[in-house]
Structure formats: C-alpha cells, structure tokens
Structure 1
Amino acid sequence: MEKMFSIPISRRDFMKMTGLAAAGVLAVNTVGMPETVLAAPAGGGHGTIKYAGKEIPVLCSVDVCVAGGGPSGTAAAVMAARNGAKTLLIERGVALGGLAVLGCVYPFMDTHAPDSDTPYVAEVKKRLRKHGIEPFDGVTQQTWHNPETLALIYDEMCEEAGVEILYQTVLVDTVRSGHVIEACIVQTIAGLAAIRARTFIDSTGDAFLSRAAGVPFERGYEKTGNNQPLSFRFEMGGIDIDRLYQHVAVELQEDWCKSKPPYFEIAEAMHRKQRYKLEEFMAKGVESGEITQEEAEYMQAYTIIGKNGVMSMNCPEIPVKFSATDPVSYSKAVTYGRKMMHHIADYLIRHLPGFEKAFISREAAMLGARESWRIRGRHYLVEDDYHDQSRFSDAVCRTAWFIDAHGEKVSEKLPKGGFYEIPYGSLVTKEIENLIVTGRCISASFILQASMRIQPTCMSIGEAAGIAAAWGLSHRIAANEIKWDAIPAAKRSYVSAAKVKA
C-alpha cells in the first residue's frame, strides 16, 4: 500500500484523519511500537490513543521525536538519525531554521570562544560555501548567510540523514506515564494526531514540550519577572549599499563595523555604553516627531550575502512591557511592532543616504524571542559560570558570547581565549527519563541564558542532544541518566577542556 513519507500510515488512512480524528472513530492499520528504554507505553501496537476523552490516530512510532526545527532542533534530528535512530522532526512552519530563517535573525553571531565550532556547525558553514555563500568577511568573525539558502541546506541535511519532517505541525500536549513521555499530541493539517517515541527532544525554544510534561520551569528575570524584549525583524530591499557605506563609514567616519560591502552593518543602541555615529541621526527623528523614542532606541541592519541591495533589519526592539510568555501581550506586540517597523523604515527612506529607493521586502514570520521559558534541570547554570569560566566533565560545547540581556544587563567580554562550558546536565531533568532539552530554554538563569542563547551555541547543544539520544537508545540508558563523558570521545561532538586537562 502506498505510504506517506516512510512513516507507517497509508495515504488513505492519513486522509481519513481530517474527517474522523475529531470524532474519535478512526481505525487505522496497527502501528507497532518500538521497545522503550523503560516500560513500554500502554496500548503499544494500537492505531489510536485516548486523549481528552476521545480516540485520536497514532500517526507514527519512532525512536526519537524532535519538537521544533530551529537551529538546535535541526541539529538534534540530523545527528540522532546519523547515529542510527529513526527520527521525526516536527515543525510548525514551512521551513527549518527557526529564527535564522523564519525570524530573519542573521548573521550568526560568533561565540568569541576559541575552537568552539563543533562538527555540525563546521559542516553548516562548509555547506554554505558549496552553495556559493562565503560565510566569513575576515573581520567580524560573524557567519554571514542567506536565509533561503540555509533553509535548503537544512532540508538537504535531513534528507541525507533520513530524518522525516512534518511541516505545519503544532505541538499541543504530551501523554505521560510516570516518569516517561509516551506520546506527544500534535495538530497537523489533517487534524489531531499522536506521535509515539522512545526519546523526545524539546527544541521548541519555549520549553513547551517540557512544560506540557510537567517539568519545573522559570520565565523572565528573577528580579523583575520581565522577559528580554521581543524583536520584529524585517528585510528592506532597493538599498544602495555602496552609497550607504560611503555615508556611514567614510563621511560619518563610523569605524564600529570594519568590514566592507558586501559584508556591512550599521547600528546604534542608545542604552549601551558604545557610542554610535548614527545615534544623532535617530535622535533627530525623535525631535521632528517622525519616530518615537522607543523606535530610536535600537536600530541595526546587516547586508545579506547573495541578496544584492537587501539588508536584514535587527529592529524594532519592542518595549519590555510586552511579554514573550503571555499570549495576549505577545499578540499585541505583533501589532505594536509592525507599526514601529514601518515608522523606522519610512524614516530611513526619507533621510538616510542609500535608502532613498528602499522598501520593506519581507517581514519575519515570527517575533524574535530572546528569552521566554527555561527549564530547571539536573544542573542549573548561573552568571558566575560565565565569569568563572566554568568547566564540566560532561560539557557538550563552549562559548564566550558576552552576557547580552537587553534592558537588564550587558557584561564585559571574557579575556581573549576565555570561555565557559555547558554541561549535559543542563539538558536533562529529574522528572522525565526520556526527555532532552536543547537551545535557549535549557536549565540556566536569566542572566546566564543571555550569553548561551546565540545560534552557533544552540546548534552545538542540539548536536550533542541528538548524539546522546541515539546513544542512550542503543545502550538502553534513559536520556536523563546518560553520562556524556562516558560516551567514547570519537563519538562525541565535544570533549570537555576539563577532561583534557585531567
């Protein structure tokens, strides 16, 4: 019988889900459950699962289910599959890459830590070159890329590894038995369905899978309760980059960004210690009433390699009164941020040389949440770990990106060559045995999270999670009991500096 993808459900049965799932009367072909590390979930081998008083179809049964196809989730899925695990990646959008693609957040910031590129990160950069994108400008150490190209690369990596992807699939809930997640409930284009897995990886960025499973969590700054400000990034096309460079770098003598076109960025941030030449320009807009003080506070833009005359606008920064963890406030932030976006764009078009013929060419498909929810896991990273340059025997990566908590605290950079490590213990919890968490919602304080949240670090965390998930399953070890440093060094993506010194 013809199959949808390679998951064990027929096209005819998949089509039936649309009309029958909500009614709870669907009878699909029997789906065999793989053996679990712990107790086999009740009802294994049945084609439906009871949820909220109804029967819904089991879409598939896999070894590893990754929720969220952002930088860390894609890395986790690829590495789990490469290490022999049957892997499914669920993504609520229509492209992988998360904020890097759907949120217009590029380029990748540099970790500032020596030798921080884990194999997966290095491979992504290599693949960018194969697609004609040279990621390095030779000056800033940032990884410049192109969102459409990056989305294609992630598709290619998943396809080559054998990762199944479910797009337009939204995580709804989990079904838990004791300390084990039996299944996650998702909303697909055809209706509600369940996905069974032996190990789940939460790469949602908002710790949604973890919270749904009852894992303890935090949100916002411990002192104020505020999240970091949201952003609503966008792209502007029709820019004369050479004229802009001439005005900012030559006429205004701004030397903050020392790279030259096609690698060029402009910026100003009134609340930072750094003084920018464009601050006066933005302040004039406030005086004239063309933009508000909120809109003038933060403005940044980067050229996009391969998209001539286009810049990624790292603004507006939406006021902190809007919350990344309150659905009503978040929704109001979208409307508020869009107004800010157009005000800023109009002002630049009217007054900034090089923008005379510019226009808004693209809005991000999601707000940029720098921080929302964070789990409380086996190990809890704190600010002192940054300043003390902490090392851990079970470290999965290293970083030295400065503490960049917008609106709260921005710290000095670590000394050249300095870094701290992120332990596997911050990726797992005491409560759930078959769960690994990746990305910006791992177990860390608000201030420490402001350092580890950048995309290369999140990618390395996801890479390690995928390796660990497959290792645990093949060795019958629960995910939260895996000893990362007990995995052979050749199979790990990162070996701790502490281990090396020992």
Structure 2
Amino acid sequence: MPLLYEADVCVLGGGPSGVAAAVSAGKKGAEALLVEKGITLGGLQTMGNVIPCMTTWAPNSDTSFVTDLKKHLEKYGIDYDDHNEKSEVGIWTNPEALSYIYDEMCLEANVEVLYNTTFVDVLKKGHSITHLIVQTIDGLKAIKAKTFIDCSGDAILARTAGVPSEHGFEKTGKNQPMSFRFEMGGIDLDKVYQYVTVELGDDFCPTKPPHYEFAEARHRTRQYVLEKFMVDGIASGELTEEDAEYMQAFAIVGKPGTISMNCPELPLQYSASDPLSYSRGVMAGRQMIHRISQYFIKHMPGFEKAYLAKEASMLGARESWRIKGKYYLVEDDYHNQSRFKDAVARTAWFIDAHGEKVSEKLPKGAYYEIPYRSLVANEISNLIMAGRCISASFILQASMRIQLTCMSIGEAAGVAAAWGIQNNIAANDIKWEEIPASHRSYVSK
C-alpha cells in the first residue's frame, strides 16, 4: 500500500469540529492533515446548507476558534450576529464565504487538506492505529499519523477501529429525522416579513431582515401562525402531510433575496444509520423539496419571482452513531448542570431531539460542561473523537450537537492531540486538567 502522507495528527472529516481540530493542532505546533470526502470544508454548514449556528445560550462559551472564526467573517463583510438576545441564532453566515474562510484558516495554521478522499479502513498495532486506508483519485493510499481524530459525524473511524458505539434512541433504535435543505432565490424578503410577521403577527422568532427567520412545526404544544398556510397545501393536494410537518427558513446574510429552507424534515422511516434507507431518503426528500418550493412560489407573498436555487449536497443528519467512551453523558448532566475538572466546553442549548423530546431550557446563565473523557475510549490509545459522535446518550446528544459546541469540542481535541504528542502521552491517557491553563482552549470555572 503506497504511503501518501505522514503527519503528527490526522483528522478525518472537515466539518465544524474537524476544521477546529486540525487548525487548533496546527496552531499548537503539530503537523496536521485534514481528510475530507468532499471538496468543501464546513460539512453541514456548507454542503448541508445549515446556515445559522445556533447559540449555546451559555455565557462565555466562545473558545478561541469560535472567536477567530467570527473575526474572519467580519473581515469578509459577513455580519455574523443579529445582536438580538432573544434570537436562537448565534452566527448568521453563508456557505460560499465559510468554505473560503475555512481554507484560509487551514492555510494560516499550516494544515494540509486532502480533498476528495474517502475513508476505507484502519491498520492497527495492538491498541493503537498506525494508518488510515483511504480512496483517492489515484487509488488506495495509506496515511500514517501519531494521533487520529474522528470528526466524521458518524464515528466511522472509531467504529472501524473497534470502539463500542450505539445509534438511535435507546428505546426505539430510531435516529433523529434528517433534513434535506435547499436555497431559494429571487425573494422579496421585506414583503415576506410584512406578511408573516406584521400582518399575521408571527412572533416565533423576533428577527427582521436581513437577519430573518420564520418557521412552522405541527403537533407541538405551541400553535404556529404559519401552520394554516401549510395545512391549506395539504387540503389542496399540493403538499403531503410529511411536507407540512416541519418548515423553517433562514435568510442568508450576504446573499440578498436568498433564503435557506431548513426543510423538508424526512419522515422517521428514513434512517441516518442505514445506507439503503438513507439513499431512499434522498430521493423522497428531493420530491418534497420540489413540492414545497413550488407551493411557496404560488402562495407565499414575496415569493412570486422566487426559484429553487440550490439543493444541499448532503442530508442533515442530527444524530447517527455515538461512541461509548470513558464518560457517558446523560440527560441528568443537562438538568444537573454538571461540571467536570476535565471539561473542554460548555453549552446550554436545550434538548432538541426531533421526533422524541424537546425539553425546557435551562435558566438564564446556567450551563453544563462536556468532559474530555467523553472524547476518548479505553479501546484505542491514540484516537480522539469530536463533534456530534462523542460519548453521550441519544437525549443528551440532542443538546450538545449544535455547531458552536462541536467547534469547541473539536478545538479541544486538536489541543489535546498536539499536547499528547509533544509530551509523549497517549491521547486516551491525557488528563485535560493537567495541561497548563494557558495551553487549554477551555478551563472549567
């Protein structure tokens, strides 16, 4: 097997946590390689059209990577913050700007990015990974590294290496429903705002253009103003029950007249952890996209000249596989506002398990922490996990899965990987609290 690259740290997956991990490892002096199966960094932020980064609701939760990202967004004229304390959005952005910024951040940190490269297998020696086997444009190649970080979202590296995992809700086995986002252009956003917020009196999200959001979700405790609009489409035969179940839209800052539709939400029969089901979900979702977009063009004021501009190039999986690491986060950690001496991040985003449970929010100023032990497992010594696949129950994962928290978790993984290599400590033996505070990305208070 030809050796393609040898690095200190190899990160699999170029989503929010993967970029943060690679950049942070590079800035700490490690030679970092970031392996991405697409040709764009950002994962769901860019390829999945997940435009907003929802706020953590936790005070002082921004780690240095998040702060640096905001500075880059400002540099390129993207007003990332709507300055509205009641809004659930922490950062408003657009995918084209973000993909360029992530390339720039990797270059600044001397991170080598390997695009269009798909994970195939691992080679191990004892309890350590020695190589990744990847499929490239030049065939199968090997990548050697001292420490590996799994930011694949699906824990594919960890599972292949033998780390125990689970997927779906423990009671039913079902994943959270996936979404298939799309963009619509040619929209008169002021006219939409006038109709939905002013005339209909929708107070779901206290925003206004250019930072504007509207939404509808059926079978919830609150009655959404736009539910009738969607139900009328069922009555006319233009929409199905599944089309109208959930609808959400976000303006894309920096792209006037363009909205990212955070829908359709696929029915639960389509699984994020079953290959055939996932693929069938893509086809079903595309049909839903065309029905919803045409319905809006015909009936929503402000959409008269609108058009379907772009489909996401990946489904939005909220949850698939989760590892079982040294510490397993559970719902009680959320409600008890758990603190840990090895905490790497904090968050207070509510439990947002679509299809199962949406819990009450924590009091203002409250939060819980995520321990480093949830990023590592006993089975593999030189592997760290980051992002939505860390060690947590289905319900707890529904809180920590948001982008800003995943970035901070990825940042900690990169910091730990570099520290472990420089001090000859196995990744799963690192005591985060023993790393000098000035070197850590997060210090528990």
TM, length-normalised to structure 1: 0.87
* Other-structure match for 1:401: 349
Q: Distance in 1 between matches of 2:76 and 2:94?
A: 10
Q: Distance in 1 between matches of 2:388 and 2:405?
A: 9
Deviations 1:370-421 (A, max 9, x none): 0000000000000000000000000000000000000000000001111000
Matched, 1:268 2:213: no
Matched, 1:342 2:290: yes
Task: Determine which of 307, 313, 334 is the counterpart of 1:386.
Answer: 334
Q: Distance in 1 between matches of 2:303 and 2:214?
A: 13
Q: Distance in 2 between matches of 1:372 and 1:112?
A: 24
Give, in angstroms, the shift of residue 142 of structure 1: 2.4
Give, in angstroms, the shift of residue 177 of structure 1: 1.3
Once the two structures are superposed, the pairs formed by residues 347-496 of structure 1 within 5 Å of their partners are: 347-496=295-444
Which amino acid in 1 is paired with 2:310? Answer: R
Q: Distance in 2 between matches of 1:273 and 1:265?
A: 20
Q: Distance in 2 between matches of 1:321 and 1:256?
A: 29
Q: Secondary structure at the match of 1:125?
A: helix
Task: Determine which of 280, 291, 297 is the counterpart of 1:332.
Answer: 280
Higher relative contact order (CA 8 A, sep 6+): 2
Q: Distance in 2 between matches of 1:273 and 1:125?
A: 35
Q: Distance in 2 between matches of 1:261 and 1:297?
A: 25
Structure possessing the higher radius of gyration over alpha carbons: 1
Task: Determine which of 229, 233, 240 is the counterpart of 1:285.
Answer: 233
Q: Secondary structure at the match of 1:142?
A: strand
Which amino acid in 1 is paired with 2:204? Answer: W
Which amino acid in 1 is paired with 2:392? Answer: A
Q: Compute the RMSD of aligned alpha carbons.
A: 0.7
* Other-structure match for 1:88: 33
Matched, 1:118 2:66: no
Q: Distance in 2 between matches of 1:392 and 1:94?
A: 37
Give, in angstroms, the shift of residue 272 of structure 1: 2.4
Q: Secondary structure at the match of 1:302?
A: strand
* Other-structure match for 1:23: none
Once the two structures are superposed, the pairs formed by residues 221-300 of structure 1 within 5 Å of their partners are: 221-300=169-248
* Other-structure match for 1:24: none
Give, in angstroms, the shift of residue 89 of structure 1: 0.4
Q: Distance in 1 between matches of 2:165 and 2:326?
A: 12
Alignment length, in residue pairs? 442
Q: Distance in 2 between matches of 1:129 and 1:143?
A: 11
Q: Distance in 1 between matches of 2:38 and 2:235?
A: 41
* Other-structure match for 2:157: 209
Matched, 1:129 2:70: no
Deviations 1:19-56 (A, max 9, x none): xxxxxxxxxxxxxxxxxxxxxxxxxxxxxxxxxxxxx2
Deviations 1:335-394 (A, max 9, x none): 000001111111111101011111110110100000000000000000000000000000
Q: Distance in 2 between matches of 1:483 and 1:275?
A: 48
Q: Secondary structure at the match of 1:491?
A: coil
Which amino acid in 1 is paired with 2:245? Answer: E
* Other-structure match for 1:62: 7
Deviations 1:172-214 (A, max 9, x none): 1101111000101000111100000000000000000001101
Instruction: Structure 2 unaligned segments of length 5 or more: list them.
Output: none
Task: Determine which of 105, 108, 112 is the counterpart of 2:53.
Answer: 108
Give, in angstroms, the shift of residue 273 of structure 1: 2.1
Which amino acid in 2 is paired with 1:371? Answer: E
Give, in angstroms, the shift of residue 253 of structure 1: 1.0
Q: Distance in 2 between matches of 1:424 and 1:159?
A: 27
Task: Determine which of 106, 109, 119 is the counterpart of 1:171.
Answer: 119
Q: Distance in 2 between matches of 1:471 and 1:316?
A: 43
Give, in angstroms, the shift of residue 157 of structure 1: 0.6
Deviations 1:116-169 (A, max 9, x none): 111111111111011101111111252101111111111001001100000000
Deviations 1:291-313 (A, max 9, x none): 00110010000000110100000
Q: Distance in 2 between matches of 1:294 and 1:110?
A: 28
**Segments of 4+ moved more than 3 angstroms:** none
Q: Distance in 2 between matches of 1:258 and 1:429?
A: 42
* Other-structure match for 2:93: 145
Q: Distance in 1 between matches of 2:110 and 2:344?
A: 24
Matched, 1:73 2:15: no
The alignment-based identity, stated in percent, is 65
Q: Distance in 1 between matches of 2:50 and 2:173?
A: 25
* Other-structure match for 2:102: 154
Which amino acid in 2 is paired with 1:68? Answer: G
Q: Distance in 2 between matches of 1:134 and 1:308?
A: 13
TM, length-normalised to structure 2: 0.99
* Other-structure match for 1:8: none
Q: Distance in 2 between matches of 1:384 and 1:173?
A: 36
Q: Distance in 1 between matches of 2:79 and 2:72?
A: 10
Give, in angstroms, the shift of residue 274 of structure 1: 2.6
* Other-structure match for 1:42: none
Q: Distance in 2 between matches of 1:61 and 1:178?
A: 20
Q: Distance in 1 between matches of 2:150 and 2:353?
A: 23
Q: Distance in 2 between matches of 1:425 and 1:185?
A: 27
